[in-house]
A and B are shown apart, each in its own frame.
Chain A
Amino acid sequence: MTTPSFPMTDDSDVAAQGMHRRSLLQLLTAGGAALAVPGLWSSLALAQGQTPVAGGTLTIGADADPIGLDPVTVNAFSSYDFTSLLYTGLLRWNAQMKVEPDLATGYEQPDPKTYVFKLRQGVKFHNGKDFSAADVKHTFDRIMNPATGSRLRALYSSVESVTVVDPFTVKFQLNATDAAFLSNLASNPNGAIVPAGVENLVTQPVGTGPFAFEAYQPNQQFSLTRFDGYYEKGEPYLAKVVFKFYKDQATLTSALRSRAIDMTWVKDPKVATAISRASQSFVSAPGQTSRTFPIWLNMKAKPLNDVKVRRALSLATDRKACLDTVLGGSGKVGAMIPESQVGGYDGTGELPYYKHDPAAAKALLAEAGYPNGLDLGDYIVVAANPLDVACAQILQQQWQAAGITVKLVPMETAPLLAKWASGDWPTLLSVALSWTPDPDGIFQYITSTSGYGKAMGSNDPELDKMIAEARAELDVPKRAAKNQAIQKRIAENAYVIQVYQYPLRWEIWWNYVQGYVPLAANIRSFVRTTWLKK
C-alpha cells in the first residue's frame, strides 16, 4: 500500500509521503485560508507586511473568447480562465502545484480503489442554493452520461460509481488504481462541480467560485463580480474582474503598456522579455515548461512506417537550434512529457536519436532505400500559432540538409484537429500539446487503443503495457522511472518527433497588482487572492 500520489510534485513532496495522508489533509484544512494558500503568494504579499485592500477592478487582457462556460462540456482552452474563477472543485492546485482540499475538507482511502470525500459545509452556489454531495454526484452523472458528450468521460474512465453517503460525504469507487484521478479532480475545469437542477450553464454559468458571472459581450469583454457568499474568509478582495479581448499580441502588449489592462499573458518569449525590459514596474513570470511541440507521424503507410526513415527524421532535427531561434533559448529540448510532470524530460538527458547528425540521417535514409533523399510531402501546422509556423520553417531547412524535403501547409485549427483525430493527414502534422493534469493524458495520444494512437498507426503492445502500468503506479519515484522508460522507447522508435518544451504563457502584470501567483496549470486561480495597491 502506498500513499496517494500528487503528480507534478517536486522534492518537498517526499516529506508529505512520510506523513499520514489523512493527517496531512486535516492539517491543511484546519488552518483555513491562510494555510491553504502558502508559498509564493505569502512571499509576495504577506512577507512584505502588507494587508490586502478590498475593492477595485482588475482588468485582464485575453487573446481569445471563451467557447462555452459549462465545465462539463467545455473543450476550448480559452474557456478555462473563466471556469476557474466561476467554479471550484473538490480539490485544487496550490501555488507549488500540490493538490490541496477545496470543496472537500479531506478524504479517506479505505482501499487503493476507493476515495471517500468529506465536503465543506455552508458553501453556496451563485444562485443562493446550498452545495451538497448531491451536486457532486450530479456533476459526475453528467460527465459519465454519453449523451452529454463530455471529453472528461475518458479522463475519468477509472471511475466506476459515485455515491452520496450523506449530504456531506461522497464516495468514488474506481475500477483500477489511478494515479491521475486526484490531479484531474484538482484541475479546472476537469474537476469543477456544477449545481444540480440548473440548465444552460453554457451561457449562464452558476458555480461556487470566488467570482460570479456578470456580463459578456463577445470579442469585447467579459465581466465578473465578487461573489459575497464565497467560502474562503475575506476573499476575493477584488470587487470586479474584467477580461478584455485583444486578438493579437501587438495589441495586447500595447494595451498593457498604456494600462488599458492590468495584466495579460503573451505566447512569445521575445515579446515578454522586451516588455519587462521596457519598465521596472512590470512583474513578469514565465510558467513552468508545460507545453511541448511535437511532430506527429502518419505511420500507417510508407515511408513513415519504416523506423529507419523516422529515425533519420529525428537525427536530421537540430532541436537546440529550433529552441534558440524560435524561443530565444527560453525553453528546453523536449521529449514526450514536459519537465513539470512526473518523470518529465529535463532537456539534457541522453535520448536515442536526439543528437543532430545529418550525415547519419542520410546514411539511414539510404539504408531504407532512399539514397537520393526523400520527399515527405505536406507538413501540416497550426496557422494561428506563429511559434509553430516559425519552428516548422526552421525544421524544413534542417531536414533539407539531410535530403528530406517537405512542403509547409499552415491550416486552420478546426480542420487540422479533425485531421489529427481521424488520421487523415499525409505524413507530418504538428499540434502543440498543452498542460495536462497528469502525464498519462499525454501518453494516451500514442497508445494503440486510443483514437489518436489508431489515427497515427501506433502498434506497439509493449508500449501500451508500459503506459498502463505507469498510470496504475501510485508511488511517485517508481512512476517517474516508468515514465522515463516510456519516453526512451518512444524516442528509440521515433514514434513522435518531439522538438522542444516551453511555458505556454509568459504572464506579465503591473506591480500595483498584488497577491497574484501564476500557476503552472495555466489557469488564473489566484485572482481570488489578488488585490490592487493603487
Chain B
Amino acid sequence: MQDNAPVATPRKGAGVTQGWLLLGLGLAMLALMLVLTIFAPLVAPYDPSATSPDSLAPASAAHWLGTDSIGRDVLSRLIVGGRTTLLITVSAVLIALVAGLILGLAAGYLGGRTDEIIMRLLDVVFAFPVLLLAIAVVAALGPTVPNLILTIAIVYTPAMARVVRAPVLSVKQWDHVEAARSVGMSEIRLVLRHILPIVVSPILVATSLTLSQTIFTVTALSFLGLGPPPPDPNWGGMLSEARQFMELAPLTVVGPALAIVFATLTFIIIANGLREVLDVGSVR
C-alpha cells in the first residue's frame, strides 16, 4: 500500500476523512457485537440449549430465525454462539500478538544469530497453509476451547512476528534511536520507549486483519467438525449442522452465514480505517 503513495497524494485529505469514517463504522459494528455477546444471556430470547419438538420451524414472531433440527431457537444460539466464536478469536489473536511482539522485537532488535534462528524456526510453521496446520494441530490435540485458542495462536504467531520485525529492523537505524543509545539508555527501555511506539501502527493494522482471518479459521474449523463440543453453540458448527436440513429450513443456514460475514467485515473495515488514519500519522 506504501507503493501507491504518489497516487494517493492529491487525495490525502479525503483518505484521512474516509479512514476515520471507516474506523468509526467498524468500531460501531464491533461495539454492537461486543454488547450482544457480552450480555448474550440477557439479550437472547431463549435458552440456547433448550430443545423442543417444534423443530425446523420457519421464522415467526416467537422465533425470528426459526428453530434448528432439535427445536432450539436459532437467534438465541447465534447470539450465544458469537460468544464462543469471538472468545476464541480474540484470545487467540491476543496471544499471537504478544508472542509475535516478543519474537519479532527480539529478532529485529537483537539481529544476527538470534534473528536467524527465530525467523528460520518460524518459517517452518509459516510454510504450512494456515487452515491445514490448524486442522492438523486440532485433530492431534482434540477440539476443546483452550486447544482451539492455542492452535490458532500458534498458527498466526509467525505472521505477527514478521509484521513486528520488519519496521524494527529499519527503525533501529534511525537517528533518534541511535541518539538514545549513545546517551546510554538501557536496551529494554530503548525498545519500550522508542522502538515499540513506531511499530505500533503496522501492528494495529495487522492485528485487525488477523482478527478477520481468524474468524474465518475458527468458524472453518468448527464447520469441519473440529469446533468446541456441543451443546454450546458456535457459528461454524451451526452452519455445518444446518447444511443437513438447508432446503427444509434455509434460515438456519443464512443466520450463521450472515453472522460470520458481519464479524469478518467488522475487522476488515477497522483494519482499512486504521490503515488510512495511521499512515498519515506515521508520515508526520
Contact = CB atoms under 8 A, between A and B. Distances in A.
Instruction: Establish whether A and B are touching in the complex (CB under 8 Å).
Output: yes
Interface of A: 248-250, 268, 270-271, 274, 278, 321, 324-326, 328-329, 383, 386, 389-390, 392-394, 396-397, 408-410
A270 B245 contact: yes
A183 B53 CA distance: 38
A270 B51 contact: no
Contacts of B243: 248, 250
A325 B52 contact: yes
A325 B245 contact: no
A390 B70 CA distance: 7
A402 to B, nearest CB: 16
B38 interface: no
A270 B243 CA distance: 13
Contacts of B241: 386
B48 to A, nearest CB: 11
Given A270-B69, A390-B70, A394-B51, A408 B231 contact: yes
Nearest to B50: A397
A397 B51 contact: yes
B197 interface: no
B97 interface: no
Contacts of A409: 229
B55 A408 contact: no
B248 interface: yes
A160 B246 CA distance: 55
A384 B244 CA distance: 13
A268 B243 CA distance: 13
Nearest to A328: B55
Contacts of B69: 268, 270, 386, 390
B266 to A, nearest CB: 29
A393 B244 CA distance: 18
B175 interface: no
30 contacts: A249-B244, A250-B244, A250-B246, A268-B244, A270-B248, A271-B244, A271-B248, A274-B245, A274-B247, A274-B248, A278-B247, A321-B53, A324-B53, A325-B52, A325-B53, A325-B55, A326-B70, A328-B53, A383-B225, A386-B241, A386-B244, A389-B230, A392-B230, A393-B70, A394-B70, A396-B231, A397-B49, A397-B50, A408-B230, A408-B231
B229 A410 contact: yes
B252 to A, nearest CB: 12
B58 interface: no
A328 B245 CA distance: 14
A271 B231 contact: no
A357 B50 CA distance: 19
B71 interface: yes
Contacts of B49: 393, 396-397
B197 to A, nearest CB: 46
A185 B228 CA distance: 45
A255 to B, nearest CB: 13
